[in-house]
Structure formats: structure tokens, C-alpha cells
Amino acid sequence: MEELFKEYEDKIPAILLEELKSSIDKKTTKTQLKKMLEALYEEYLESMVEPGESVGIISAESIGEPSTQMTLNTFHFAGVAEMNVTMGLPRIIEILDARKNIKTPMMEVYLKEPYNKGKDIRKVAELIKETKMSDIIQEVSINILEATITVKLDRQKMKDLEVRDSSVKRAVEKQLKSGQVKIEGDEVLIKVKSKDDSLNDLYKLKEKMKSIYLKGVKGITQVLPVKRKDEFVIITAGSNLKDTFKLEFVDTERTTSNDIMEVYENLGIEAARAAIINEVYRVIESQGLNVDIRHIMLIADTMTASGSVKGITRYGVVSDKSSVLARASFETPIKHLINASLVGETDPLNSVIENVMLNQPIPVGTGLPGLITKVKK
């Protein structure tokens, strides 16, 4: 039995062999198994894409056609905190371009036991949310003569967010770096070092003071605990995987972000590939459209094959094409023609567009007779 499986190890993917292994029972004879393996191998060959099939164009058409029907481009989260998420065509473009700064970065933070059971889930969520000075301020006033800024603190909010006076003082001192900080009752007094500073500088300082980081994960502006099956997950607006993973209650194995570049930087290229597939598939699914996942996988593969995430843009995947004419036909033709002529580039005319331009048979399908028959040299 085992040898038989061994024989087919190189021919059939392991996952299929595993499946067959688990489905046979003790009654199966050797000849029966042999027949099964043969049939499986045949079926496997049948389901492979034939050589010369234009998989790229087919994928492009399969995704391009339904995307013309996408309409709604935002998606609203129901809940206490209103959250909008970019969806539809704008989101797909965003993913395929491999944008560095996406419109609505989000994370799905999974929690370790026992935090995910829902006890104090709001409190846990608040720990992830970034708290800034502006969140606990009631009123700000500037004294021009004394060159001081007086900040009235909102005690109730501070209590809710669990911010202590001492930490406020420390943060302001450390991050503002100018002048003395004193806390008197509900008020924070900031005294600027030199009185020579102009009014303009004082205003700038005031604005800077508002954005002082106090606690939580930087970049997370909103949090929303959501129940998924039998556990709680926290959905965040804003994404920061690196700092989130430092929190001890976060399940680092399942937590993800919708920011592909961030996934790539923190979890590696395979994770980025998976993220592209998931994100594109989710958008298409949410529109009620049906695209085979293999088309999306092909796109994710082309974007990540080089080891870094490259967008389907003239700076990304297209710039890697070997043909000058193919690159020139996409965008900025003059740039490509000039550079090619400067270095004396050769175009081997191996791909589709070049051959369409030259009115030559394209090397797909019937354009590849060499696959079936010997052609004269």
C-alpha cells in the first residue's frame, strides 16, 4: 500500500493523496487502490490548465467584467461607533495598485483566552485605541502676556479612559519638550521657556499639545468589539500590527489587517499574498458577484512573485516586463522608448502585445504549433 502511494508522490499533489488515504478503508485491495490512483492521476491531469492557455487575459476578463457592475463603494458598520470601509471598485484598485496609504485601514484583532469571552470586552478594546491629549481636554486658553497655555481637563473622560494625572504630566513634558508643566486641580499649566516666542509659535505649541500621545496603540482611532461565533473580536479603524502584537492579550496568529503593505512588512510575503486574495475576494463577494478564486490567486501570485509586493502599475509589475514595446504600450511610451534606445535594448517579441503591434501570430493557443508538432528550424 505505502509503496503505491510513494510511486505517485511526484505525480499528484500531497493534499490529494492525503485525501485519498483518509477515504480508503481496510477492505480496499491493492489492485483497487492502484486503479483509484490511476484514475486520480488522470483526473488531476485533466483538471490542469493546458499549455498555451491565456490564463492572464482570462483572469483579467473574469475580474474586469464583474467590476464594471460594482456600484456602492462604501460599507457601513452598524454599531455604537459608526465606521465606513472602502469597498467596491475603489477598494479593488487600491489593492491591485499596492498603495502604501490606503483609505480606510482596519484590523481584526483576535484575543487570547480568556479575554475573548466577552468579559470587560469594552475595556480591552479601549486599551487598543489610541488616546490623545485632545480626547481628555475640555477647554484650552492661551495667556499671551505670561506665555502660558492653560488646559482644562475633562475628569469624567479621564476616568473612563483610565488616564492618570501623572502620566499626562509625563507625556506632556516628554513630547512637548518646551517649558514647565504643572498640574493644578483640573488644569494643566504649560509655561513656555522664553517669553520671546511669538504668538504664532504659541498657537503652534497649542496644536502640538492637542496631538500628544497618551496611551494605546498609535494610529487606532476607533474600536468596535464584535461577536464572531462564540468569541469576541475587536475591529479597529486604523491599522498598526507591529504595536498591536506587543499587547499580551492579542492572539498574534489570527490578527490581521487590511493594509497589504503592513501585512507584508510584519508577516512576510506569503501572508501578503494571502491578504491580497482574501481582500479582493471579500470585495467581490460583498457585491454579490462570483469570481473563481483562482483568478484572484493568479493576480496575487504575480504581485508577490518577486518577493516584495508590487502593484499592477507602470512602477510595479509592468516595469518588470522584458519587452520594450509591451511596456511602451502600457503607459509613458516615450520614457520607455528613450531608455531602450539609450542602452540598445533588444525586444525578443515573446509576448502578446508586441506581436499584435507587429501583426504577427501571438504566442498563445493556435500560435504555438510547436507544442503539438515539430516545426522546421
Partner 1 sequence: MTEVYLNGKFVGEVENPIDFVNQVKTERRKKKLSHNINIAYNERLDRIEVESGKGRARRPLIIVRDGKPLLTEKHIIQLEKGDLTWSDLVDQGVIEYLDANEEENALVAFTEEELTPKHTHLEIDPLVMLGLTTSLVPYGNYNQSTRLNAGSKNQKQALGFYAANYLVRMDMDVNILHEPQIPIVQSITHEISGYEKHPAGQNIVVAVMSYEGYNMEDAIILNRASIDRGLARNTYYRPAISEELRYSGGLIDEIGIPDKEVKGYKSEKDYRFLEDDGIVYPEAEVAEGDVIIGKTSPPRFLSSMDEYNIATNTRRESSFAMRHGEKGVIDFVLVTENEEGHKLVQVRIRDQRIPEVGDKFTSRHGQKGVVGLIVSPPDMPFTASGITPDLIFSPHGIPSRMTIAHLIELLGGKVGALSGRYIDGTTFNSEKEADLRRELLSLGFAENGTETMYNGQTGEKFQAKIYVGNMYYLKLKHMVANKIHSRARGPIQLLTRQPTEGRAKEGGLRLGEMEKDTFVAHGASLLLKERFDSDKIIIPVCENCGMIAVHDEYKNKSHCPLCGESVEITDVEMSYAFKLMLDELKSMGIYPKLQLKSKY
Closer by beta carbon to partner 1, 1 or else 57: 57
DSSP state of 192: -
Closer by beta carbon to partner 1, 17 or else 357: 357
CB of 364 to partner 1, least distance (A): 5
Closer by beta carbon to partner 1, 27 or else 376: 376
Sign of CA pseudo-dihedral 166, 167, 173, 174: positive
CB of 352 to partner 1, least distance (A): 6
Contact 148, 190 (CB under 8 A): yes
Name the amino acid, one letter, at 285: E
CB of 81 to partner 1, least distance (A): 34
Alpha carbon distance 267, 247 (integer Å)? 16
DSSP state of 250: B
Alpha carbon distance 227, 271 (integer Å)? 25
CB of 276 to partner 1, least distance (A): 23
Alpha carbon distance 102, 296 (integer Å)? 20
Q: Cell 456600484 maps to which residue?
A: 71
Task: Report CA-CA distances (Å) from 98 to 3, 66, 91, 107, 320.
Answer: 47, 21, 11, 17, 15
Instruction: Specify the DSSP element, H or E, that contains 151.
Output: strand 148-153
Contact 313, 97 (CB under 8 A): yes
CB of 369 to partner 1, least distance (A): 6
Q: DSSP secondary structure string, 95-147?
A: HHTT-SS-SS-EEEEEB-TTGGGSTTHHHHHHHHS-EEGGGSEEEEEEETTTT
CB of 376 to partner 1, least distance (A): 7
Closer by beta carbon to partner 1, 32 or else 339: 339
Contact 331, 318 (CB under 8 A): yes
Binding site for partner 1 (CB under 8 A): 52-54, 57-58, 60-61, 337, 341, 346, 352, 356-370, 375-377
Closer by beta carbon to partner 1, 57 or else 72: 57
CB of 359 to partner 1, least distance (A): 4
Closer by beta carbon to partner 1, 189 or else 362: 362
Closer by beta carbon to partner 1, 20 or else 352: 352
Closer by beta carbon to partner 1, 142 or else 362: 362
CB of 292 to partner 1, least distance (A): 14
Name the amino acid, one letter, at 68: T
Alpha carbon distance 136, 155 (integer Å)? 8
The strand pairing partners of 107, in sequence order, are 236, 257
